[in-house]
Amino acid sequence: MVALPSPALPNILHASYWESSDVAAFILRQFIRSEDTPVLSALTNMSTIPSKIQMEPPSWNRKRTKFKVTNLGPNHRANDVIVVEGAEQQIQARFCYGPVDLVALSREKISAYVCPVGGDWQLVATDTTDSHGRISFSVIFNNISL
């Protein structure tokens, strides 16, 4: 941490760090998102994953959610887990908006998608977040050709 530039420290000590079980991935994300380093910013633009998912316009369960989503920036995260093909995977995520996770996306329906290499996005699961914007569900990826 001593070798890191001072402006990077607040981002590294963000609330995401304390919730992440994969600290190394979190620290790498901080550097990959950096616009200051031309090499890293060029690498982030070289993506082969399609960025568009054909979805219906969202219908929110709570009236205030529309204002949260419109006025605050998203801050979503999930744990990355590698499992054996055909084995059950437990996916845990948190959906927040605003700086320092100011507002949680609570009691709202979310859909999880997966994108196989060279393919289109495929719906994996749909569930409702809890009162803290967290969601957890199990998925078996034996029917998706990744």
pLDDT in tens, 96-112: 988 778 889 999 999 88
Average pLDDT, the chain: 74
Is residue 58 located within the same domain as residue 129? Answer: yes
Q: Global pTM?
A: 0.59
Per-residue model confidence (pLDDT) at position 90: 86
Structural domain of 64: 50-146
- What is the reported pLDDT for 124? 84
Residue 122 has pLDDT above 60, yes or no: yes
In the predicted model, is pLDDT for residue 46 greater than 50? no
The answer to whether residues 144 and 81 belong to one domain is: yes
Which range among 50-59, 63-72, 102-111, 128-137 shows the weakest confidence by mean pLDDT? 50-59
pLDDT: which is higher, 117 or 112: 112
How distant, in Å, are the alpha carbons of 5, 26, 42, 87, 140 from that of 38? 16, 20, 6, 39, 39
CA 78 to CA 116: how far, in whole Å? 18
- Which of 56, 146, 69 lies closest to 103, judged by CA? 69
Question: Which of 31, 46, 61 is at the close of a domain?
Answer: 46
